[in-house]
Amino acid sequence: MEIKVLKDILGANDQMAQSNQQLLDGNHVFAVNLMASPGAGKTSLVLETIKGLQGKVRIGVIEGDISSTFDSELIAQQGVPVVQINTGGECHLDASMIRNALENLPLTDIDLLLVENVGNLVCPAEFNLGEHRKIVVSSVPEGDDKPIKYPAMFIIANAVVLNKTDLLPYVKFDSDRFREAVREINRKLDIFEVSCTTGEGIERWTSWLLAEMGRK
């Protein structure tokens, strides 16, 4: 019985996700779902992406958190439209939450929508939002074993961003082991090594986004 209920929930979510993508496509908005564990640097990546693409594309943001508006306030300071979703305890965003957020965004004024999912490397992998690309953000301080421990997230992703590479000299992290683990799970994944502190790798990341949007 529990399996049937779960299938019903995911089925309804997928239907709403498809509707979300149709709404986005109708407004020529390209949506990216950023997923990571807490502290990996999703918000920092969003901020650096906004700066890196300034004047090239119009960006909007959906911020997902269990509570607080701290991150959305930081993003609003960049002059981009942002909607905060507080899940009240849920460990992921779902398509229905995204639909409500889309209805409160000026979609005709947005080219790229960045969705920062709730910090979690398990639940978000199960729920499609209507996004066009799924990105896993990992970070050097978390360790190089994240792909091995959370393979489902890396299986469904379109790209991996390894953040906080400026800390490589100070923590135990094997970059080769990390890349090999990612490739064993999903050989198609692009891997971007970045530092939101120094800006290293951000240009390659934003160039990839532009290419995925068809805006080389």
C-alpha 135/C-alpha 116 separation (Å) is: 10
Kindly report, residue by residue over 18-52, the tens digit of the pLDDT. 999 999 999 999 999 999 999 999 999 999 999 99
Q: Which long-range contacts (CB under 8 A, 24 or more apart) does 195-201 make?
A: 195/163, 195/164, 195/165, 195/166, 196/41, 196/44, 196/45, 196/47, 196/48, 196/163, 196/164, 197/44, 197/164, 197/166, 198/166, 199/48, 200/165, 200/166, 201/165
Contact 153, 115 (CB under 8 A): no
In 73-189, beta strands by DSSP E: 82-86, 112-116, 133-139, 159-163
Q: Which residues pair with 82 in a beta bridge?
A: 61
Instruction: Give the helix/strand (H/E) hosting 18.
Output: helix 2-26
Given a cut of 50, is residue 142 above it in pLDDT? yes
| 91, pLDDT greater than 80 | yes
Q: What is the mean pLDDT of the chain?
A: 93
Token couple for 43: 């918000």
pLDDT at 76 over 60: yes
Q: Is the pLDDT of residue 200 over 60?
A: yes
Q: What is the pLDDT of residues 95-128, one digit of tens each?
A: 999 999 999 999 999 999 999 999 999 989 999 9
pLDDT at 2: 47
CATH code, domain carrying 180: 3.40.50.300
Range of the domain at 137: 2-212
pTM of the model: 0.93
What's the number of domains the chain is made of?
A: 1
Tens-place pLDDT, residues 124-140: 999 999 999 999 999 99
**SS3 assignment, position 188:** coil
pLDDT band at residue 4 using 50, 70 and 90 as cut-offs:
low
pLDDT number for residue 1: 41
